[in-house]
Amino acid sequence: MNIVENFDLFAPRLINKQELLSSGHRACSGCAEVLAVRLMCKALGENTIIASATGCMEIVSSMFPTTAWRVPWIHVAFENTAAVASGVEAGLKALRKKGKIDDRYIKVVGMAGDGGTMDIGFQALSGAMERGHDMIFVCFDNEAYMNTGIQRSSGTPMGASTTTAPAGKVSSGQKTWKKNMAEIMVAHEIPYVATVCPSYPLDFIRKIEKAKSIQGPSYIHCFSMCPTGWRSPSHTAISMGRLAVETGVFPLFEVEHGHYRISPDMPRKLRPIRQYFKPQGRFRHLKDDEIDQIQERVTLEYQKLMGKAKYL
Amino acid sequence: MGKRIGMEVAIAVAEAVGLCDIDMAAVYPITPQSHIAEHLSDLVANGEIDAEFVTVESEHSAMSAVIGASGAGARSFTATSSQGLMLMHELLPIASAMRLPICMAIANRAVSGPLNILNDHTDIMPQRDSGWISLFVENGQEAIDLSIQAFKIAEHKDVMLPVCVNIDGFQLTHMVEPFEMPSKEEVEKFLPPFVPHATLHPAKPVTMGAFAMSDYFTEIMKAKNEALKSSKKVILEVWDEWARLFGRAYKPVETYQAEDADVLMLTMGSMGETAQMAIDQLRAKGIKAGLVKLRLWRPFPLAEIKAVLKNVKKLIVTDRAISFGGPGGPVFSEIKSAMYAEARRPLIYNYIYGLGGRDVAVGEFVGMFDKVLADTKNEAADTYEFWGVRE
Ligand SMILES: Cc1ncc(C[n+]2csc(CCOP(=O)(O)OP(=O)(O)O)c2C)c(N)n1
Ligand code: SF4
Ligand SMILES: [Mg+2]
């Protein structure tokens, strides 16, 4: 029986019913990023403290004097989330040791967009991971600076049109290949790195739970479809996430202590990326040969990953 | 009773902070602050203090980490200087807006460029409007005393604001001075445990650092300003208590031979001691010169400044920074605006001096007085001059 298609049957037993990110937040309709944050909270449970970067998820959830957060949550700035989280973790550790707070185990989680992780937040993240704090860092990658108006980031895929790398008469949008953040985190030799997508909620929750169970730093890279920024209809968020995975554009995998494992959700045979590119306005300008070139690189990158991994 | 010891001031500051039962410190090395970071690391490594020392990868992360730790309810400390303070700049108003009682030692040093590692106040002046309580010290004893007092002031339930203690780099941090180090028991008696208003803890989830639009922003700014202004009451109480316990008194504005003075000089930080020697020389010559030392930079002690300056004819404000293209040194501007509406106010002269570690000897302070007293037509009043500059 397919678990996802029979979700209503399985969900109550598989997923925490608590809504730790409440409704009433201001995310756009059809936002997969906020769905991912909600799923993450369900997987983490209430003994969690979240440090958030500036960005869509911060803005939509914390308009003073309201808040959507039912877990302790702190926002300080755009580029320093991992450092804030590492301070929270260090503070808790000291307070617990001195008996100033109860001794329950609390997971500290840093969260940021692709900009807050891969660009401006890169140094703070690298530092926090290298220092080995007991924390999870989750990158909600919607492939551009959405909060400030769809500007490119180093996570924007090649060929996508954004407001600072627009398609034009002599340009096909983003000229560079997406920074491979998961691999960079693997190179930090932290205990656990995983990629997730809210279109695969059970895989998502399992990986967050695994990260939660690990003492030390872990990194989760979440593919978070943004209908507004990708210029796609708001009902396509889930299907677009599935297409990204099924085409190999965003493979689901995990790396535990250096050991790669491809998620069982990955198809044996990838679909052509055209099927994923077609419905999205940000790729509309691409010519056939440009898509072919990108296809070649996607295939190559996927083969490289497969070379490192073996099926369960 | 505390012990009389001789020690390098930076090390002593770390020792003093170590007496304060801190839970967490995050300090990134930079000359001339590094000895604080190193000595705190030693204290932690030797189990002399029970705290987490987070070896951050930058000052931006140092300030971010102490914000996080303080948000979790930990007594948190950092220290920096110059470029490091500039790197923290973005986060300083956030720390104060979040009402986090973080304490920071600043080994004041010139800001680049050109790069220069020596002392002046060009690092702290751009932080003036960050909403921190900002104190200046003149010698090692004061550096120790204020480093301890800082926690009590910051964490007072009516304050809950971050505090920075400005300690002149090299001139103070690297001097070996004799002073009295309070004992652990004395500090325990003086400094109660930190009781935060709200903390990041699942027992009672709170949201910290929400964003606010025009409907609330102004009110939040006013609340922060009121908090900073009214912190002075607590600062004065803490200084009273300190005087009772340790016999050393502190005031927002300290004076030397100022009561009957015709001409006063205003200094901040370590230059005060040198200027004091100049006053003695001038007094010996029969010149009624006096000194005003500004200890409390924020909240600005308006009433105290007005009271001290109301009878004097001429005032020399010395500045160790300049507001480029502006009306002069930053302290000069503050003092001028403080005195503007007073019926009786002095003519105010401004010397920008001691930049990038340039030494200013006693004779030069005497020279400043001579120059101002020779200006019988008051032509140089209300202007500024780079003292001792080669043209
Ligand atoms: C130091 C600094 N630079 C720039 C900004 C403006 N800014 C706020 S959020 C943001 C982009 C956020 O992008 P991302 O991290 O990808 O999150 P998203 O909004 O896409 O979820 C930018 C550029 C800022 N707040 N702080
Ligand atoms: S702009 Fe995109 S990421 Fe931001 S809230 Fe809207 S849909 Fe979500
Ligand atoms: Mg983004």
Share of chain B above pLDDT 70, in %: 100
Ramachandran quadrant class, A101 (left: phi over 0; alpha: psi -120 to 50; beta: rest): beta
Mean pLDDT of A202-208: 97
> Measured between CB atoms, which of A67, A76, A104 is closest to B207?
A67
Alpha carbon separation from A184 to A306, B60, B108 (Å, rounded): 17, 22, 37
- Ligand 1: does its nearest atom lie under 6 Å from the Cβ of A162? no
Q: Which residue of B has its CA nearest to A133?
A: B54
Residue B119 near residue B357 (C-beta atoms within 8 A): yes
Per-residue model confidence as pLDDT tens digits over B17-61: 999 999 999 999 999 999 999 999 999 999 999 999 999 999 999
From CA B212, how far away is CA A65, in angstroms rounded? 8
Mean pLDDT of A58-63: 97
Query: What pLDDT is recorded for position A9?
Result: 78
Distance of CA B345 to the CA centre of its chain: 26
Alpha carbon separation from A219 to A165, B73, B113, B317 (Å, rounded): 28, 26, 39, 54
Q: How many residues does chain B have?
A: 391
Domains of chain B are 3-246 (3.40.50.970), 253-386 (3.40.50.920)
pLDDT of A311 strictly over 60? no
Query: What pLDDT is recorded for position A74?
Result: 98
> Measured between CB atoms, which of A75, A82, A90 is closest to B24?
A90
The verdict on pTM exceeding 0.90 is yes
- Ligand 2: does its nearest atom lie under 6 Å from the Cβ of A36? no
> Measured between CB atoms, which of B50, B56, B203 is closest to A127?
B56
Query: What pLDDT is recorded for position A200?
Result: 97
Q: How confident is the model at residue A312 (pLDDT cuts 50, 70, 90)?
A: very low
Q: For all residues of chain A together, what is the average pLDDT?
A: 96
Q: Which residues of A touch B72 (CB under 8 A)?
A: 49, 87-88, 91-92, 95
- Ligand 1: does its nearest atom lie under 6 Å from the Cβ of A113? yes
Q: How confident is the model at residue A4 (pLDDT cuts 50, 70, 90)?
A: low
Query: What pLDDT is recorded for position A8?
Result: 75
Per-residue model confidence as pLDDT tens digits over B265-313: 999 999 999 999 999 999 999 999 999 999 999 999 999 999 999 999 9
Q: For all residues of chain B together, what is the average pLDDT?
A: 97
Those residues with Cβ within 8 angstroms of residue B4's Cβ, 6 or more apart along the chain or in another chain: B178, B179, B180, B181
From CA A38, how far away is CA A54, in angstroms rounded? 17
pLDDT of A69 strictly over 90? yes
* Nearest alpha carbon to residue B56 among B102, B15, B24: B24
Per-residue model confidence as pLDDT tens digits over B110-148: 999 999 999 999 999 999 999 999 999 999 999 999 999
- Cα of A151 from ligand 2 centre, angstroms: 13
Best of B28, B54, B99 to disrupt the A interface (most A CBs within 10 Å) is B54
ipTM surpassing 0.90: yes
Query: What pLDDT is recorded for position A33?
Result: 98
- Cα of A132 from ligand 2 centre, angstroms: 31
Query: What pLDDT is recorded for position B29?
Result: 98
Per-residue model confidence as pLDDT tens digits over A150-184: 999 999 999 999 999 999 999 999 999 999 999 99
Atom 17 of ligand 1: nearest residue by CA position: A113
pLDDT of B257 strictly over 60? yes
**Residue B327: burial class (beta carbons within 10 Å; 0-12, 13-18, 19+):** middle
CATH class of A14-311: alpha beta
Mean pLDDT of A139-155: 98
Per-residue model confidence as pLDDT tens digits over B306-334: 999 999 999 999 999 999 999 999 999 99
- Cα of A184 from ligand 1 centre, angstroms: 21
Domain segments of chain A: what residues?
14-311
Put simply, the chain B residues between 152 and 191 with a CB less than 8 A from any chain A CB are none
Per-residue model confidence as pLDDT tens digits over B180-237: 999 999 999 999 999 999 999 999 999 999 999 999 999 999 999 999 999 999 999 9
Task: Tell me the β-bridge partners of A73.
Answer: A50, B207
pLDDT of A2 strictly over 90? no
